[in-house]
Amino acid sequence: MEPCLKPEIPEEKPGKPTPNPVLVKEGKGWRNFACQHYDACLNLAAKSMWTGFSCKFCELQVTKKESL
């Protein structure tokens, strides 16, 4: 799966990980409901008419796991 458009996040800074939802079939993706950027990703998916999206490949998710 390839990353799609990135949601507009006001506090986004160059060089920092950004949210990166990926288009998937409805019910097939993993979502991080606790993420502070979840609403922005959900809005992007809705505006793009996606049937579903996944947070699995998000740079913020990878960064969080690596810091553990």
CA distances from 5 to 65, 66, 68 (A): 23, 24, 28
Give tens-digit pLDDT for 29-63: 888 888 888 998 999 889 999 999 999 888 876 55
Q: Kindly report the pTM of this predicted structure.
A: 0.61
Query: CB within 8 A of 45, min separation 6: which ones?
Result: 21, 23, 52, 53
Longest dimension (CA), the chain: 35
User: Higher confidence at residue 53 or residue 18?
Assistant: 53
Is the Cβ–Cβ distance between 59 and 17 less than 8 Å? yes
Is the Cβ–Cβ distance between 52 and 24 less than 8 Å? yes
Q: What is the pLDDT of residue 60?
A: 79
Cα-based angle 6, 20, 52 (whole degrees, multiple of 5): 95
